[in-house]
Amino acid sequence: MRQNDQAVARLALQLMDLTSLNQDDSTRSISNLCVSAATAFGPPAALCVFPEYVIWAKQESLRLGLPQLKIATVTNFPGGYPDIERAVAETERAVAAGADEVDVVFPYRAFMQGDSDLGQELISACKQACGEGALLKVILETGVLQERKLIRQASELAITAGADFIKTSTGKVATNATPEAAQVMLEAIRESGTNCGFKAAGGVRNVADAATYLHLAEDILGADFLTPARFRFGASGLLSNLVATLSGQDATTAGNSY
């Protein structure tokens, strides 16, 4: 096992939003998710669950002695619907339930049809709904936007509207995180001069995948960017690959991403 693999795995674990966004989720599966977060190498940055499981996940993480574990959720998910009132109401309910972070889906289809005002208004309104206590991560759905120009424009719009993070994907479409999209987004963050963070979600399955995004972010924004306050991975099965790597086990078949 290369020492560098273990260093990447340790860092990636600290930066991960351990995620379960499945239609068959239950209190039992979310409890199991919380248990899996209590690794021998420390917890991930956050758990990301559907809004109806925020309270349960928070209670379970406290029961397991993980008070530092953030609880994230999703709103306007997964379709990025063009309904500002709906997105705001979902965000308000999530924050009231105790969500520390909200990943809201950008109305990407309306944006692709030329309506950029809707996206800006929705993000600004959801940012206000988050108040002072919750982070707002904006999911751009870059696999649908596809074109570098559109990804860049959506990134700039989200940052200007107040996003605390910009995120690649819901994990629910054919193409999710890619290094190409990540590069565009990271360059937009750099050129904005803001403290906006970045989250790669979907398709990050193993240490090698994680290393690709970590090196890319470091090249564009520097090593100081690689903290939970600025960089995240959204994944589910990635955890097993990271733990196997850190344990010195064969990690070649471990890890899938939502």
Active site residues: 103, 167, 199
Cα separation, 56 vs 61, in Å, equals 9
Nearest Cα to Cα of residue 139 among 109, 113, 114, 117: 109
Nearest Cα to Cα of residue 55 among 89, 114, 96, 15: 96
The per-residue DSSP string of 37-50 comes to HS-TT---SEEEE-
Cα separation, 89 vs 211, in Å, equals 37
The answer to whether the CB of 175 falls within 8 A of the CB of 183 is no
The per-residue DSSP string of 140-159 comes to --HHHH-SHHHHHHHHHHHH
